[in-house]
Structure 1
Amino acid sequence: MDIEQLQQFLKVAELGNFTRAAEVLSISQPALSRSIARLEEELGQPLFERQSRKVVLTDAGNLLQSRAHRIVSLVEDTKAEICDDGESGRVRLGAIPTIAPFFLPEMLSPFAEAFPKAHLTVQEDTTDNLLRRCQQGEIDVAILALPITAKHLEIEPLFEEELLLVLPTEHPLCEKKQIKLADVEPYPFVLLDEAHCLSDNIVTFCRHRSFNPISVERTSQLATVQELVSMNHGVSMIPAMAKNLDTSPRRVYRSLAGTKPTRKIAMTWNPYRFQCKLLERFKEHIRAFSQAYGL
């Protein structure tokens, strides 16, 4: 067996599907199937139980998965440590969808200019998936919103930002000089679906003030939330970083009077993986850039 085979095996085990794994790995499904078959032949044990729409790990597969994670991580860390000049190498960054398109472009650009030999890759995913990928060494650092519950990860708060009320331009609340949370209570909300932590932030803030927002529509994209608000489907709360990039005249953003809804942004990484000099410099860049954000 070789490292590439183990990486392919891990991706199939993660996704439970040969077709999706082949797409992610950028190889053909027959090639991936042959690779796994050779691995099973060498070990003399089936690694997957083939079901109608998915594959699941056998006992032998579960054992190999735990060992393969350690083997692949050890090889990658060894390569990184030997080649660690602080200028070149790969940094794999993860971010949740309500941060990635608004915070990352402006943050990544100066780092790329300062370190032209560095190769930065970005993975946008939900909080649970990013935490798992950090733990398994698939990404080096992730930027997401608190609270975070994860074992064996270092978590460092970066800044706090306000969540702004967003309304269609003709909404009656636009005429008020100050908008309180009680003023919003009669109106339906458009929220992200339950996989996104932003909705939890909004609902938790409201419930702590004896107000349970009624969600009439849920979507997977923040841009869709904004468009549905423009179409008068409801109101919502949007991170300030998203509002700063919104030039549409069809929406109005207002800061709530009194205690304001906020979210805390943090970065997380696996301290048990080798921390190369380039990664340490990248984390310092994130810290410095983050000082320009927040309340």
Structure 2
Amino acid sequence: SAEIVELAQQEKAPLSGKLKLGVIPTIGPFLLPQVLPAIRKRYPKLELYLIEDQSARLVERLNSGEIDAAILALPFELGQLQSATFWKESFWVAFPKDHPLGQGGAIRSVTLPSDELLMLEEGHCMRDHALSACHLSNLQHSATFQGTSLYTLIEMVAGGQGITFLPQMAVDAGMAKHRRISLRPLAEKGPHREIGLVWRSTYHRKHDLQLLMECMTEVLEKKTSKK
């Protein structure tokens, strides 16, 4: 069968053949441009198929066998799936440029005006991770506006419509640059989210996933140490 042929090819070369990898929208646009060039250079025989979706749907697609692995922000309810963390990051608070709280060092979440908080809509795990980093429950936070993406939220902030949280990765990718935005790190002890790879326990290419994680961690560490 095709799978046997593929298995035989993989025996010869690590991280080769097809790999269907899911990734969530609050990680994909910031992580992938950083790590893909290194992955392609190191493993030229790898055919990587990328699928962007929300965490719950990626977990479903993993369980059904539609994808091989997924990059998710943890903690997340994974059921029987296995996971390993390969990166950790903290959150920043993005303010409109002329906001009274826009200047200064780390800021505690209790000092944030919760009525100005712009959040991602339910279903995005970054919403839950941001709320939990600030010790806020969903009940305490009923945002007037809920964004479908970080890009929407950041444009709203630049337009003076409110404040929002950005993960370190989005800040490093220059998401707030050249916009009317000032950033302050969140003072609550981090990391505020972990980034991990998730797979089925029956998946036969665990060693390949290990190599993939090592490659991504290496790239991220290099970029961090250059700062």
Scaled by the length of structure 1, the TM-score of the pair is 0.67
Q: Which residue pairs with 1:120 in the alignment?
A: 48
Tell me if structure 2 keeps the 8 A contact 1:81–1:276: no
User: What does 1:248-263 correspond to in 2, within 5 Å?
Assistant: 248-260=178-190, 262-263=192-193
Instruction: Answer yes or no: is 1:149 the counterpart of 2:77.
Output: yes
Deviation at 1:163, TM superposition (A): 0.7
Tell me if structure 2 keeps the 8 A contact 1:91–1:279: no
Q: Which residue pairs with 1:159 in the alignment?
A: 87
Instruction: Answer yes or no: is 1:111 the counterpart of 2:39.
Output: yes
User: What does 1:72-91 correspond to in 2, within 5 Å?
Assistant: 77-84=3-10, 85-86=12-13, 88-91=16-19
Q: Which residue pairs with 1:48 in the alignment?
A: none
Structure 1 residues 256 and 151, CA, compared in 2 at 3 Å: closer, same or farther? closer
Q: 1:264 aligns with which of 165, 181, 194?
A: 194
Please give the alpha-carbon distance, in whole angstroms, between the structure 2 residues aligned to 1:160 and 1:142. Answer: 16
> Root-mean-square deviation (CA), in Å?
2.5
Q: Deviations over 1:132-159 (max 9, x none)?
A: 2222222222111112222332111222
Deviation at 1:277, TM superposition (A): 6.0
- Structure 2 counterpart SS, 1:267: strand
Please give the alpha-carbon distance, in whole angstroms, between the structure 2 residues aligned to 1:177 and 1:279. Answer: 38
Please give the alpha-carbon distance, in whole angstroms, between the structure 2 residues aligned to 1:221 and 1:227. Answer: 10
Instruction: Answer yes or no: is 1:284 the counterpart of 2:210.
Output: no
Q: 1:133 aligns with which of 61, 65, 68?
A: 61
Q: Which residue pairs with 2:30 in the alignment?
A: 102
Q: Return the structure number with greater helix share.
A: 1
Q: Which residue pairs with 1:181 in the alignment?
A: 109
Deviation at 1:260, TM superposition (A): 5.0
Q: Which moved more, 1:136-145 or 1:268-277?
A: 268-277
Name the aligned partner's letter for residue 268 of structure 1. V
Q: 2:156 aligns with which of 228, 242, 245?
A: 228
Q: Which moved more, 1:134-143 or 1:234-243?
A: 134-143
- Structure 1 counterpart SS, 2:144: strand
- Structure 2 counterpart SS, 1:172: coil
Residue-pair matches, total: 219
Q: 1:172 aligns with which of 89, 100, 105?
A: 100
Unaligned runs of 5+ in 1: 1-74
Tell me if structure 2 keeps the 8 A contact 1:188–1:213: no
Larger radius of gyration: 1
Unaligned runs of 5+ in 2: none
Please give the alpha-carbon distance, in whole angstroms, between the structure 1 residues aligned to 2:179 and 2:85. Answer: 34
Structure 1 residues 177 and 164, CA, compared in 2 at 3 Å: closer, same or farther? closer
Instruction: Answer yes or no: is 1:191 the counterpart of 2:122.
Output: no
Please give the alpha-carbon distance, in whole angstroms, between the structure 2 residues aligned to 1:177 and 1:131. Answer: 37
Please give the alpha-carbon distance, in whole angstroms, between the structure 2 residues aligned to 1:279 and 1:204. Answer: 29
Q: Which residue pairs with 1:274 in the alignment?
A: 204
Structure 1 residues 181 and 276, CA, compared in 2 at 3 Å: closer, same or farther? closer
- Structure 1 counterpart SS, 2:71: strand
Q: Deviations over 1:167-198 (max 9, x none)?
A: 01011112445533222135411111101001
Please give the alpha-carbon distance, in whole angstroms, between the structure 2 residues aligned to 1:258 and 1:205. Answer: 7
Structure 1 residues 260 and 281, CA, compared in 2 at 3 Å: closer, same or farther? closer
Scaled by the length of structure 2, the TM-score of the pair is 0.85
Q: 1:237 aligns with which of 165, 184, 192?
A: 165
Structure 1 residues 283 and 257, CA, compared in 2 at 3 Å: closer, same or farther? closer
Instruction: Answer yes or no: is 1:219 the counterpart of 2:147.
Output: yes
Structure 1 residues 107 and 270, CA, compared in 2 at 3 Å: closer, same or farther? same
